Structure 1
Amino acid sequence: MFSGSIPALVTPFRDGSFDEAAFRKLVDAQIAGGSSALVPCGTTGESATMLIAEHNHVIDVCIDQAAGRVPVIAGCGSNDTSVALDHMRHAQKAGAAAALVVLPYYNRPNQDGLLAHYRHLASNCDLPIVVYNVPARTVTDIAVETLAELAKLPTIVGIKDASGKVERVAAQRLACGPDFCQLSGNDDMALGFMAMGGVGCISVTANVAPGPCAEFQKACAEGRWADALAWQDRLFPLHAALFTDASPGPVKYALSRLDPGFPTDIRLPMTWPSAASRAAVDAALVHAGLL
């Protein structure tokens, strides 16, 4: 259902408030660069520090600015099933193509709880769902067998897999079927992920390098693995540098280096990246030919 390079968009803030003009400019730049879909209000978008009304407004603006040029996969996750459902209903009404729903964090549900969570969402809203598995953040991991049960539901269409276990692509493909949409959640592992049957990446790096990330994905999709490897070598230092400090600090710093007018506010408890992180980002931008 989705494929290619899909940026997990940062949310620009200026003087503590959402900078709508900067966000609209970012959306246009992503589409012009070849991104195939957009994800507002994910982890990189600092959704954890947004009020619900603000969260919904960012999704509305993203859908409005995209204007049907690419689909929008709205971040709708919560550790409260009822809040996740409210997000999904709003996103559907606004015109989102799907909801990205992270595994419930902090609560640490077991596999039965995960099944119940997603089944409840799917039963009460028919917006397509992309499951988001990121155990490093949620301290919860979805088993292949559990995902296979969810894949039987018509509106659970795929997974953003940030487990860091590339071998799961093959296991999930066999369990969920070849049409189940598997998207990498790790830029640095996307080459192996694609070779094993993935169809795209929900990318942090694409915020900074939409064109190169789109070309990398195109090379993978067309089986031009030598070209894909060349893009991987060009982008790998940037993939690493953007996580040398707490995200999205390094990403916002990188954007400000490419566009000095880009707002650099980050909401607490996240802070500006360290000098070492900023130096790593600068070097990676040069290596990638972006600076």
Structure 2
Amino acid sequence: MFRGAFTALVTPFKNDSIDEDAYRALVEWQLEQGIHGLVPCGTTGESATLSHAEHKRVISICVDQVKGRVPVLAGAGSNNTSEAIELTRFAKESKADGALLITPYYNKPTQEGLIAHFKAIAAEVSMPFIVYNVPGRTATNLLPETLAEMRRTISEVIGVKEATADLTQISKVLELCGRDFLVLSGDDFTVLPTLAIGGVGAISVVSNIKPAAMSGLVNAFNQGDLDKARDLHFQLAPLCRAMFMRTNPIPVKTALYLMGRLSPELRLPLLRMDAKLESELKSVLATDGLV
């Protein structure tokens, strides 16, 4: 179920409230463009600044708009285990197909603490878990050996979003966890290499603005058309770099604004790009025919 190109959706805002119309339109466009799955309330969705009520509303809107056409992997993690349990329980109640659970950030737990965290969530809510490992944001790296132990002892843990950009680590995850363990690239730059060593897809930022290309890359690889997959990899490369001109999701939200799909509004402490950088971003988008 959790294979292919999944978009880590932005959360549109209008006057500091969720812009439901823009969000539904974005979801529908993603589906029309052939995306394989959607992730509401991830890092790209500014989940850290959503209230619990807003978080739940964003998931509900996404599930309702999708209507079972593709899997919905709901962001439900937290550095507070009890809060993660609450959000994961809601993800299940909302009929999301699975939960994306980030490793606890700021607390810097030990590897044993990471295992205990996920065991505690699974003890309260049984549904498919994709663990999200992004040391650059959490300050803790979930080691392959730890993930393998979770795989053995927590049946809900069926895969990982690896955002280390470390192919050596990703390879070791596959070596220790087995080929049926779902490894999704969490870095748009490493989608094709991850697929090449046994990964099953990506949770992507750039697919917010170019969903057909990212899903097409995965499709081409799975169909054995490596030339096409490589062509799409290199075609997407300038856009991938542009999406990280500033902290994610500032550039991708700005790009969607320039494409006429939503407001550029962000939540503090994130700020809009300055005029010079926005102009540079617009040039990249124009070269790709997006504006």
Q: TM-score range by the shorter chain?
A: over 0.9
Runs of 5+ in structure 1 lacking a partner?
none
What's the counterpart of residue 200 of structure 1?
Answer: 201
Q: Which residue identity lines up with residue 43 of structure 1 in the other structure?
A: T
Q: Note if 1:267 corresponds to 2:273.
A: no
What's the counterpart of residue 103 of structure 1?
Answer: 103
Task: Spell out the pairing of 1:110-129 with structure 2 (5 A cutoff).
Answer: 110-129=110-129
Please say which of residues 110-119 and 213-222 is displaced more in the overlay.
213-222
What's the counterpart of residue 286 of structure 2?
Answer: 286
**Residues 35, 134 of structure 1: alpha-carbon distance in 2 compared, 3 angstrom cutoff:** same
Distance 2:97 2:180 in 1: 17
Q: Note if 1:31 corresponds to 2:31.
A: yes
Runs of 5+ in structure 2 lacking a partner?
none
What's the counterpart of residue 258 of structure 1?
Answer: 259
Task: Spell out the pairing of 1:75-86 with structure 2 (5 A cutoff).
Answer: 75-86=75-86
What's the counterpart of residue 50 of structure 1?
Answer: 50
* Displacement of 1:147: 0.2
**Segments ≥4 residues shifted beyond 4 Å:** none
Deviations 1:149-203 (A, max 9, x none): 1112221110000011012222111111111000000001111111111110100
Give the TM-score taking structure 2 as reference length: 0.97
Distance 1:180 1:287 in 2: 38
Task: Spell out the pairing of 1:1-291 with structure 2 (5 A cutoff).
Answer: 1-152=1-152, 153-259=154-260, 262-291=262-291
Distance 2:88 2:243 in 1: 29
Please say which of residues 179-188 and 162-171 is displaced more in the overlay.
162-171
Distance 1:225 1:281 in 2: 29
Identity %: 43
Distance 2:167 2:189 in 1: 11
**Residues 279, 232 of structure 1: alpha-carbon distance in 2 compared, 3 angstrom cutoff:** farther
Q: Which residue identity lines up with residue 254 of structure 1 in the other structure?
A: A
Q: Which residue identity lines up with residue 6 of structure 2 in the other structure?
A: I
Distance 1:288 1:191 in 2: 20
The size of the alignment, in residue pairs, is 290
Distance 2:276 2:58 in 1: 32
Distance 2:122 2:280 in 1: 42
